[in-house]
Amino acid sequence: MRGPHNIWRLIRTGATFEKTGAMEVVLEQMEAPRSLRVAARILGWPFKWLGYSGDPTLPPVTRALTALGPSYIKLGQILSTRPDFVGSDLALQLRVLQDKLPPFPTAQAREMVERDLGMPVDAIFSEFSEPVAAASIAQVHQARLVGDARKVAVKVLRPGIARAFARDIDAFYLAARMIELLSPSARRLRPMDVIAHFDATVQQELDLRTEAAAAGEFAATTARDDGFTVPQVDWNLSGRAVMTMEWAEGIQMADIDAIDAAGHDRVVLADRVLQVFLRHALRDGYFHADMHQGNLKVAPSGDIIALDFGIMGRLDEYTRRVYAEILMGFIRKDYRRVAEVHFEAGYVPADRDIDQFAQALRAVGEPIFGMDASRISMGRLLAYLFEVTERFGMETRTELILLQRTMVVVEGVARTLNPHMNIWQAAGPEVERYIRENLGPRAFARDLAKTARVLARFGPHLPRAVEDALRLSDRTRGDSGRTAPRHPVQWMIAGGLVVGVAWALVSTL
């Protein structure tokens, strides 16, 4: 698919951005250098007449992306998670790219269900509705199972969507290469990595079995969480192009009037939205990375129901501990400790001045903490933090950017429910609980036990390793023609053997 024909796709894209007025907005938000602006104009202005007009009621960038089709809409959704790359204002605009495509005919959806599941639709479902939601990659139908009349949600991929994405992704790679070539300053943001991340995300979403697996894993990790629910996947009625889940009855999180009419406590719901996100990110390292209001419902019981598991975030255990220490350092206004954590984690180069960095962090934290409690934003704090760390040489870390973006979205949902919410007061208990359980003596003992279990597996190989090292050391001494003290390697191995045996014994206790 890659070749000169991708230039035509970029020309059509540039023409559409020029025609809709999106070109100037994007270049301004990205603070593009002159060379990139010239290249963009060459791809846009002379061919403006070839561009799509789009919906004039939409903002320029949203208008251009929706006019260009599903691949571009999905790219916009992914870029909304990268405010470091497109700018915070543009990222905010791109977040509205949800369910913006018209549905495809129900007859086509039925054909895809029959082809993927190998059975007639009427043999599986007693009812199969018109689309209830349509997005860039798939649409959802409400159905009832034959026999038990249980209500389910059936998600079906758009016909031909895989080919459309394969064609457009090649053009996106070409655009990323041009940005890196024409804008050396943009290389820090790693445009090729951004598109590679987009490519990987889309490939997962084009196989609904992957999303079903994500939903299953998320349901398992959150099963013990009170007040939070993940619908169960019906694996017997799911495949590459079709995913069937239990239907989640509830009120859309955006429908404040309906939530009030149902008697739900919005203050409680706002705290819960924020707390469950932090719990999943810190405790599990696996969180829903697209928690906007369209993907959340309030069940009749008051539980929060999560939907759509196409974008999930992961944090390894070490990163979670670093993130928690950074948050707690800001909560306690211990800017020196926040600086030390960045240096210990290797986020900031060791040759930078830690005192200057701590001072810069204070400049980030103090204005925010000087605000009224209802205006304090953890998402804003993290955004400012990344600006400071960039000045001190920290490279872009995609997992932290995704976390920060999701934090901003979750805060927005929580504040819609409770405009006077104190973010720190709601977040504090979750962060403190994580630190108490993962950074104290119990955590140290747990880490030691894990290390011992790993070393114990190598126990059978230790005698041979010691013998080989001793023979190597003896040959080295023999070649020198004189007697020498034992080689340091021997002492290291001997000590390692003693420690390994001791830890192996500990692991059996």
Would the pTM of this model clear 0.75, i.e. be above it?
no
What pLDDT, on a 0 to 100 scale, did the predictor assign at position 27? 73
Q: Which residues contact 463 (CB under 8 A, 6 or more apart)?
A: none
Domain extent listing, the chain: 5-99+162-204, 250-439, 444-507
Residue by residue, DSSP assigns 317-367 as: HHHHHHHHHHHHHHHTT-HHHHHHHHHHTTSS-TTS-HHHHHHHHHHHHHH
Determine whether 70 is exposed, middle or buried from the number of CB atoms within 10 Å of its CB (0-12, 13-18, 19+): buried
Dist CA 354 CA 360 (whole Å): 10
| Residue with the larger pLDDT of the pair 371 and 9 | 9
Per-residue pLDDT of 96-145, as tens digits, reads 665 556 789 999 999 999 999 999 999 999 999 999 988 878 999 999 99
Dist CA 302 CA 263 (whole Å): 9
pLDDT at 361 over 50: yes
Q: How far is CA 118 from the centre of its chain?
A: 34
Q: Please name which of 69, 55, 52 lies closest in space to residue 17, comparing C-alpha atoms.
A: 52
What pLDDT, on a 0 to 100 scale, did the predictor assign at position 260? 94
What pLDDT, on a 0 to 100 scale, did the predictor assign at position 248? 92
What pLDDT, on a 0 to 100 scale, did the predictor assign at position 442? 64
Dist CA 263 CA 250 (whole Å): 13
Q: Is 303 a catalytic residue?
A: no
Q: Please name which of 286, 292, 289, 291 lies closest in space to residue 319, comparing C-alpha atoms.
A: 286
Q: Do 228 and 303 contact (CB within 8 A), yes or no?
A: yes
Determine whether 83 is exposed, middle or buried from the number of CB atoms within 10 Å of its CB (0-12, 13-18, 19+): buried
Per-residue pLDDT of 22-44, as tens digits, reads 777 777 766 666 776 777 777 66
Query: H-helix or E-strand containing 23?
Result: helix 22-29
User: Which of 280-284, 318-322, 391-395, 504-508 is most confident?
Assistant: 280-284
What is the number of helices (H) and of strands (E) in the chain?
A: 23, 10
Q: Do 432 and 348 contact (CB within 8 A), yes or no?
A: no
| Residue with the larger pLDDT of the pair 16 and 469 | 16
* Interstrand relation of 228-229 and 304-306 (parallel, antiparallel or unpaired): parallel
**How far is it between the farthest Cα atoms of the chain?**
92
Among candidate residues 84, 116, 168, 290, the one labeled active-site is 290
Edge-to-edge order in the sheet of strand 228-229: 228-229, 304-306, 296-298, 251-252
Contacts 24+ apart (CB under 8 A), 346-350: 347/322, 347/389, 347/394, 347/397, 348/389, 348/392, 348/393, 348/394, 349/392, 349/393
